[in-house]
A and B are shown apart, each in its own frame.
Chain A
């Protein structure tokens, strides 16, 4: 049973470009969480999704950021018009249902130049 898969592991974007981060949850998991880790900081919650539904997006910036988890395929975190302050590690975690143990992927390190 493969773990949570995130790709790419490293992503470099120029200011103003779009970044798409993908997360494939563990088999049988229908709940996905996205977290952001700025340099030398802890992880900060961004958004919690179930298949085709956003359950909690209280940690998402109001502009430029969006997330989806379609019925088929991976969850996508999309950042439009990236700025240098978006440079961070973005982690995805999945669980079989809400309130249960979540397993983390290895993260995507986004660098905006």
Chain B
């Protein structure tokens, strides 16, 4: 079974600084998707960024980028120029590539605080 591990329950970053959230996963599959979701206090799950395992290039979305290390099964999220609105829970998630195995497997989350 696939597992996703986030070893940092809480992180803190100053406004305008950079922070990296860690995620490791375990799978026997060679093709899959990885995601980072943001959950603010409103509880809405917001997709931040996604990575296809077959792509070597790391995904980037504005201030958000990932460091995807397939061999190490590591998928960290870097937030640059942090803003107060980035404060939220961040969840790393895994999904198999195709077929009926379309469910997401989530980590336990990292609570990010952004300070002035």
| A residues neighboring B (CB under 8 Å) | 31, 33, 35, 41-45, 48, 55-56, 59, 89, 91, 93, 95, 98-102, 104, 106-107, 109
A contact face: mostly helix, strand, loop, or mixed:
strand
Set of chain B residues within 8 Å of A45, measured between Cβ atoms? 103-105
Question: Which one of B91, B101, B107 has the greatest number of beta carbons of chain A within 10 Å?
Answer: B101
- With an 8 A cutoff between CB atoms, is B98 at the interface? yes
- With an 8 A cutoff between CB atoms, is B84 at the interface? no
Closest to B50 in A: A101
Number of interface residues of B (CB under 8 A): 22
Number of contacts between A and B (CB, 8 Å)?
58
Set of chain B residues within 8 Å of A55, measured between Cβ atoms? 100
| B45 touching A43, Cβ below 8 Å | yes
State the Cβ distance, A93 to closest chain B Cβ, in Å: 8
User: Can you list 12 A-B contacts (CB < 8 A)?
Assistant: A33-B102, A33-B103, A33-B104, A41-B109, A43-B104, A48-B100, A48-B102, A48-B103, A56-B101, A93-B104, A95-B102, A99-B98
A87→B101 CA distance, assembly (Å): 27
| B residues neighboring A (CB under 8 Å) | 4, 6, 42-45, 47, 50, 91, 97-109
B91 CB contact (under 8 Å) in A43, A98, A101, A107: A43
Set of chain A residues within 8 Å of B91, measured between Cβ atoms? 42-43
Set of chain A residues within 8 Å of B109, measured between Cβ atoms? 41-42
A99→B21 CA distance, assembly (Å): 26
Closest 6 CB pairs of A and B: A42-B106, A104-B45, A45-B103, A99-B98, A98-B102, A43-B106
